[in-house]
């Protein structure tokens, strides 16, 4: 099973600032990595797939990079609606499909 | 528009079974795999398995083998998941999620999610 590790667990950011979230895989997942955003009481929403491709309707301030075992989600100029929990998910080696433990982006 | 509408919250006793439903609309039901993912209170996401609505084929996470059964009814575009021998640590929100496509082939990330069904397991 591929273990996905996200860091930091919590990121405190002021509105308008940028944020960088990390996701590490226990073995290579190539570029088969997705990022999701989840707000309280809501289902996750797909942001990024293929490590760097934005999903339909996702603003350009969200960008993904990386391959192999190291991945980054960057949010430039955080808006109020961006404060949420972010999860990465690998889909290269399964079963099982696995998620990271999440990074909470909170208002500083 | 694509929608996945799930059944309502349930309260179950340990040892019981629960059946979830996920009704799809806005797309060809048989064209996309449906996955089930759960989330315990305050915790992360855990993948449980998928069903191919076209063939009925399934693939379950080893952790749930023997306790989970995924089925579908193509006539009403609805997928089901039954989880048996419930324990207190099965208390969670259960989501169905549609897997995207890469060309004509299924991918394994999720472009649409249901609203979730909360199951509380308590004596």
- The whole-angstrom separation of Cα B101 and Cα B104 is 6
Looking at the partner chain, which of A91, A96, A102 has a beta carbon nearest the beta carbon of B109?
Answer: A91
Summarised one tens digit per residue, pLDDT across range A58-107 is 999 999 999 999 999 999 999 999 999 999 999 999 999 999 999 999 99
For residues A16 and B72, the answer to whether their CB atoms sit within 8 Å is no
pLDDT of residue B102: 76
To probe the interface with A, which of B109, B113, B118 has the most A CB atoms within 10 Å? B109
Summarised one tens digit per residue, pLDDT across range B44-64 is 999 999 999 999 999 999 999
For residues B48 and B69, the answer to whether their CB atoms sit within 8 Å is no
pLDDT of residue A25: 98
Output the six-digit token pair for B41.
């209170």
- Give the CA-trace dihedral at B10, B14, B16, B18, to 10 degrees: 30
User: What's phi and psi for A80, nearest 5 deg?
Assistant: -60, -35
pLDDT of residue B103: 74
pLDDT of residue B106: 81
Cβ neighbours of A97 in B, within 8 Å: 35, 47, 108
Sorted by sequence, the CB contacts under 8 Å of residue A67 that are 6+ apart come out as A30, A31, A51
Q: CA of B49 to nearest chain A CA: how many angstroms apart?
A: 8
Q: CA of A18 to nearest chain B CA: how many angstroms apart?
A: 24
């Amino acid at each position: 099973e591929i273990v996905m590790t996200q860091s930091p667990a919590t990121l405190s950011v002021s509105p308008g600032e940028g944020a960088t979230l990390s996701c590490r895989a226990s073995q290579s997942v190539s570029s088969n990595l997705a990022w999701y955003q989840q707000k309280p009481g809501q289902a996750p929403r797909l942001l990024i797939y293929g490590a760097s491709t934005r999903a339909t309707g996702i603003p350009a301030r969200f960008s993904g990079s990386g391959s192999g075992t190291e991945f980054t989600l960057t949010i430039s100029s955080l808006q109020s609606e961006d404060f949420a929990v972010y999860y990465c998910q690998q889909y290269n080696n399964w079963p099982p499909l696995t998620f990271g433990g999440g990074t909470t982006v909170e208002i500083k | 528009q694509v929608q996945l509408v799930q059944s309502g919250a349930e309260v179950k006793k340990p040892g019981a079974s629960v059946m979830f439903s996920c009704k799809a609309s806005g797309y060809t039901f048989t064209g996309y795999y449906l996955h089930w993912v759960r989330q315990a209170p305050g915790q992360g996401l855990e993948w449980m398995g998928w069903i191919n609505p076209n063939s009925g084929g399934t693939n379950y996470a080893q952790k749930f083998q023997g306790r989970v059964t995924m089925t579908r009814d193509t006539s009403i575009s609805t997928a089901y998941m039954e989880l048996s021998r419930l324990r207190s640590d099965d208390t969670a929100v259960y989501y169905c999620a549609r897997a995207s496509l890469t060309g004509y082939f299924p991918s394994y990330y999720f472009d649409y999610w249901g609203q979730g069904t909360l199951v509380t397991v308590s004596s």
